[in-house]
């Protein structure tokens, strides 16, 4: 190479040590990866990994589901008979069925119930609480439902309302010392209920009774009775 002064210039190559310090070798991660791979192969060669049988792992996974299934069955057998809860000056709550619903980690106690105004005063609405208790009687889960007449009337004596309510157990159903639940009701008296609605039309019911008492107006247009085996082209229906 000829420099500007005409004197041959010598190409100066950079010091390899300095270059290595400025630009680290890119092959170093590859070397580390290969070393780890060799170590892994050596480890697997020295000791074989033993996996548990599939059925054993499956049984462990299904254990909480099987436990919950048994608890659901136990409560179903014990909670299928109706229970009545009387609340003075508020009405009566009849629980038709108790049951556990949900999945492991998200379990609820559920009640199918009917509220009836058994007082002698109309009530505007009824509140029903379902509380889940632990073995010491402490509340661990609670929910409430407000019942209103869909027709906009007050609940007059004898009126009923049927619904479903559920409360989360928060794992207390797994307590070996036991757990429980309770029902509460509050139905304040309606101060201005208005006129008592007439839900049955006597004239209409009388006309319906006359219709049902009259002779049958149904006349069959054909019959499907025949005797003997079916013969294609011969047998007629």
CATH of the domain at 158: 2.60.40
Neighbours of 68 (CB within 10 A): 19
Extract the residue ranges of the chain whose pLDDT is less than 70.
1-49, 198-202, 215-237
Report in angstroms the alpha-carbon separations of 5 from 1, 2, 12, 35: 11, 8, 17, 54
- Measured CA to CA, the distance from residue 147 to residue 149 in angstroms comes to 7
| pLDDT at site 73 | 85
Total number of domains constituting the chain = 1
Phi and psi angles of residue 24, each rounded to the nearest 5 degrees, phi first: -60, 150
Q: What is the pTM of this model?
A: 0.58
Cβ contact 125:148 at 8 Å: yes
Query: Quick check: is 172 in a domain?
Result: yes
Query: Quick check: is 141 in a domain?
Result: yes
Query: Quick check: is 226 in a domain?
Result: no
| pLDDT at site 201 | 65
Note every long-range contact of 169-172, with CB atoms under 8 Å and residues 24 or more positions apart, other chains counting. Answer: 169/100, 169/107, 169/108, 169/109, 169/132, 169/140, 169/141, 170/132, 170/140, 170/141, 171/107, 172/132, 172/133, 172/134, 172/140, 172/141
Query: Quick check: is 160 in a domain?
Result: yes
- What tokens appear for 16 in the block? 């390899």
| pLDDT tens sequence across 66-124 | 888 888 888 888 777 889 999 999 999 999 989 988 888 899 999 999 999 999 999 99
- What tokens appear for 21 in the block? 């310090």
Cβ contact 87:93 at 8 Å: yes
Query: Quick check: is 145 in a domain?
Result: yes
Query: Quick check: is 157 in a domain?
Result: yes
Query: Quick check: is 99 in a domain?
Result: yes
User: Which residue segment(s) compose the domain that 178 sits in?
Assistant: 84-186
- What tokens appear for 211 in the block? 């219709």
Query: Quick check: is 211 in a domain?
Result: no
Note every long-range contact of 201-208, with CB atoms under 8 Å and residues 24 or more positions apart, other chains counting. Answer: none
């Amino acid at each position: 190479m000829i420099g500007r002064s005409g004197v041959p210039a010598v190409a100066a190559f950079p010091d390899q040590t300095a270059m290595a310090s400025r630009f680290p070798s890119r092959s170093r991660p590859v070397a580390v990866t290969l070393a780890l791979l060799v170590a892994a192969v050596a480890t697997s060669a020295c000791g074989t990994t033993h996996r548990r049988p599939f059925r054993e792992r499956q049984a462990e996974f299904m254990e909480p589901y099987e436990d919950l299934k048994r608890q659901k069955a136990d409560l179903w057998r014990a909670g299928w008979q109706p229970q009545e809860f009387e609340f003075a000056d508020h009405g009566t709550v009849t629980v038709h069925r108790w049951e556990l619903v949900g999945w492991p980690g998200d379990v609820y106690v559920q009640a199918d119930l009917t509220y009836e105004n058994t007082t002698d005063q109309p009530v505007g609405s009824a509140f029903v609480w379902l509380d889940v208790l632990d073995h010491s009687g402490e509340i661990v889960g609670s929910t409430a439902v407000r019942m209103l007449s869909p027709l906009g009337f007050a609940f007059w004596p004898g009126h009923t309302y049927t619904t479903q309510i559920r409360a989360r157990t928060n794992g207390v159903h797994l307590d070996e010392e036991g757990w429980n639940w309770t029902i509460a009701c509050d139905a304040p008296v309606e101060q201005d209920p208005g006129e008592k609605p007439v839900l049955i039309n006597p004239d209409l019911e009388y006309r319906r009774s006359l219709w049902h008492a009259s002779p049958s107006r149904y006349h069959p247009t054909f019959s499907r009775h025949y005797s003997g085996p079916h013969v294609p082209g011969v047998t007629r229906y």
